Amino acid sequence: MRRLLPGLLSFVDSLRHAALRGRRQSAHALGRRGEDLAHRYLQTKGFRILARNWTGPHLAEVDIVAQLDGQTVFVEVKSRADTEHGSPERAMDDLKIVAQRRAARAWARCAEAEATSIRFDLVTVVFSQPPLIEHFPDAWSFKH
């Protein structure tokens, strides 16, 4: 059963993406597909997913909120069809990082979590054949 589950989940993801393809802009659909791949990747690495696409009071969206070894991990996912215009991690700028910090503070207040137990990871997905997934733990700090 455990061997069948990843294949089944991947199949369900592909069906959902096919159904949504006509209703979404291609960049948005690519990002959603990247988030799905990152979600599955993190689960295989032992992360417990707490939320997806969580939006804080300042409208800062966090792609994935997860937990690993007692830490709350805020994960930003960047996806690209290819690397022709640069790697996905280059899309992280200071404004996005500030927004992630704000969202993390809001999450910590709501969840009554310690700010010292929060970290920020970046997962990049390049849709080559097969897709290339890279994980950057502790990609930036909570401090300015």
**What are the tens digits of pLDDT across the range 78-111?**
999 888 888 898 889 999 999 999 899 888 888 8
* 19 part of a folded domain: no
CATH number, position 106? 3.40.1350.10
Question: Edge-to-edge, what's the strand order for the sheet holding 118-126?
Answer: 48-55, 61-68, 71-80, 118-126, 132-140
Long-range contacts at 24-29 (CB < 8 A, ≥ 24 apart): none
What total number of domains does the chain contain? 1
The residues, any chain, with a CB within 8 Å of residue 62's CB and separated by 6 or more, are 51, 53, 54, 55, 56, 74, 75, 76, 100, 103, 104, 107
* 40 part of a folded domain: yes
* 131 part of a folded domain: yes
Q: How confident is the model at residue 7 (pLDDT cuts 50, 70, 90)?
A: low
What is the C-alpha separation between 27 and 1, in angstroms, rounded? 34
